[in-house]
């Protein structure tokens, strides 16, 4: 199985420099283009995790909870 390039880039930014904003940017673009509803939900979950962690880093507890509970 071959993974999408966007997913590999997401993982590199997620586990490397932990650039949550860049993770969000990479997957949001890919998520919006995904035709499969099931896959779209999976990509959206990754976007929400990255955004939640971005908010947490900036001290925005409400934003973190909103993203990670949706």
Q: What total number of domains does the chain contain?
A: 1
Q: What is the mean pLDDT of residues 53-60?
A: 96
Residue 25's pLDDT is: 94
Query: Using 50, 70 and 90 to split pLDDT, how confident is the model at 63?
Result: very high
Residue 17's pLDDT is: 95
Query: Using 50, 70 and 90 to split pLDDT, how confident is the model at 70?
Result: confident
Q: What share of the chain is helix, strand, coil (3-state, %, to 5)?
A: 80, 0, 20
Give me the domain span that covers residue 38: 5-69
pLDDT in tens, 3-41: 999 999 999 999 999 999 999 999 998 999 999 999 999
Alpha-carbon dihedral of residues 58, 67, 6, 33, nearest 10 degrees?
A: -130
């Amino acid at each position: 199985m071959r993974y999408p390039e966007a997913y590999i880039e997401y993982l590199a930014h997620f586990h490397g420099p932990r650039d949550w904003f860049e993770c969000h940017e990479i997957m949001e673009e890919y998520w919006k283009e995904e035709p499969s509803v099931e896959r779209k939900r999976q990509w959206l979950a990754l976007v929400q995790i990255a955004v939640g962690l971005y908010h947490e880093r900036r001290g925005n507890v409400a934003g973190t909870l909103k993203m990670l509970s949706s």
